[in-house]
Amino acid sequence: MPNISRDEVAHLARLARLAVTDDELDTFAGQLDVILQSVARVGEVAAEDIPPTSHAVPLTNVFRADLVRPGLTQQQALAGAPAAEEGRFRVPRILGEEA
């Protein structure tokens, strides 16, 4: 059974650059031990005859049908633009780029 010590938790905290108190070391050691035991139990249950899955229940195609619908014309798209030039949106120059 996994058992994580206070020293191991302190070492992990130093690696992660976390400041933890002595009380937190004891708390975290207990919590991490429970997590490691739970992971070990899952490893015991997993059998070779059970295929790996990405979902707990089987899924079918959950996407909507891809239907072609009319879109905006160029004039309609540019109608609400604050500035347009040569059939395109005009936006302010950024990052000092040269034309």
CATH of the domain at 12: 1.10.20
Would residue 29 count as lying in a domain?
yes
Would residue 93 count as lying in a domain?
no
Would residue 15 count as lying in a domain?
yes
Would residue 88 count as lying in a domain?
no
Mean pLDDT to the nearest integer, 76-82: 92
- Please determine, for residue 98, whether its predicted confidence score (pLDDT) is greater than 70: no
How many domains does one find in the chain? Answer: 1
Range of the domain at 35: 6-45
- Please determine, for residue 1, whether its predicted confidence score (pLDDT) is greater than 60: no
Would residue 64 count as lying in a domain?
no
- Does the pTM exceed 0.75? no
For residue range 19-76, what is the model confidence (pLDDT) as tens digits?
Answer: 999 999 999 999 999 999 888 888 777 677 777 777 878 777 778 888 999 999 999 9
Distance CA 92, CA 99 (A): 12
